[in-house]
Structure 1
Amino acid sequence: MGFPGTWMTESESMVYRVVPKCACSTIGQIMFYSDHGRFFDGDIHDSTAGLHKWAQDDSQGPIEANVLAHKSFSFTCVRNPYTRILSSFFDKICGIQRNGKRYRGKLVPMLIQKYGIEVGKPESGFEFDQIKSFRRFLLFARDTIRWHRPMDPDIHWSSMSGHVATFIANGGRYDQIIWTEKFNEGMQVVLDNIQTPCPVSLSDIPRFNESEGHGPKRAHPVEDYFDDLSMHLVYEIYKRDFALFKYDFENPANKMPTADIDLAEVHAKLSG
């Protein structure tokens, strides 16, 4: 199976397991910059050179050799499950994608038909009942994850622990798991543990949010989207994420982690 979703700098200074909707655009650009002294011109997900990616055939050998020998500092990044699923909804379901179209072609029309979701239109300023539609989307996300219908779960809302686990199960080990909510603090730990061809000053790095501006803005505080039933669904889907990455299930308004991540626990529970 190898190491899907794994990126590595060409200098092999660091290895990163991508978790969608968890600052991956910014991390990828930092990796690219640390080797080349410039940012990739465009969305880093579109790069085909300058950064090793498992999806590129000629990168698989170097990545596999590095990870199995644990030659480089390896890390990943996680995010509060409540804000991550909300972000997925606004970006992937409501937003217009980089190609000017809706995400995954027929997905949104199917959601409108089968789940009664509204997504609004750019022409009318994306006006719709965000809370009602999001809660219906949650039912759909649960159906895809629990029963793989009406489709397999998408990488943007499948569990973070599922992404993180493939790296461990195939022979990798993490040196650091950072929180999106404490990004600079966590990324600085990574940089302090490695040597890069080009120095990186985090205070000078812009945030690369490639999904911003392509869809509706969130109109309410995070907690307003989650009633008792929604919280139950989120817990059903992301129970392991809350536990392993130390997020507060009881209070959707609290996006910050409540304890330190136990790397030994993560490796033990995700190795099978």
Structure 2
Amino acid sequence: MNRNFNGVALVTGTAGGIGQASARALQKVGYRVFGTTRGDAGTSGGINLLTCDVTDDASVARLVEEVLAAAGRIDLLVNNAGVGVVGGAEESSPAQALALFDVNVFGVMRMTNAVLPVMRRQGAGRIINISSILGLIPAPYNALYASSKHALEGYSESLDHELRTQGIRVTLVEPGYTNTAFERNMSKPDQPLAYYDTVRRQTETFLQKSVERGDPPEIVAQTVVKAARAAQPDRRYPAGKLARQVSLLRRFVPASAFDKSLRKQNGLP
């Protein structure tokens, strides 16, 4: 029996970046970790990789069945899989917006609904949803991504109140800019308008520089471990210096001053 065993963790979106770093960090502190990928299943560094598409109900159900068949329980779910799009809000069709929400919000709901019966039978469980500082503040030319993270924040906090009496807690981890491929590979709008061409390019450059200066994904992973192991978890955990600063500023700086600062940071007049 492994005395350091902390339970069974299921982490979505572990092909790289925050998901992969979180899976490895959880493994180091004693979790048996199952990760998800949209590619082929296998094993990587002791992490069991299983194929799953969080936008597909049947795929999610199969994933949970596979984990239970192999491990018999699920103690921790980390909802990390996510996508983004850079551009003016009106440049994305409703179909593109729906596709983004299908991963960032409804994918989280599918995964959560699939593991809740398991955790309820166990009488305990922890769910960590990877949000963003853009779940706390406006994000010009990232409106769809920011709105999905705002939705995730409301969902997570509300759900936590519903589940506490069942021994299950839900908490949020809010990274700032993180040096991964995620921001570099954000999608482009599917109905671009020439009016936004210049500012869209400026935003893409701003994001690229912010990512290059951003925290390594291991910083976020450390916060995930902290949230997973806390006896009484906080509702939200900003991950990294920038995220902590933004969280404090959003709470205490007057709205007009925050508005000016945000526009300046984003190069807006």
Tell me the TM-score normalised to structure 2 length: 0.34
Q: Which has the higher contact order (CA 8 A, sep 6+)?
A: 1
Q: Please state which structure has a larger fraction of its residues in helix.
A: 2
Tell me the TM-score normalised to structure 1 length: 0.34
Q: Please state which structure has a larger fraction of its residues in strand.
A: 2
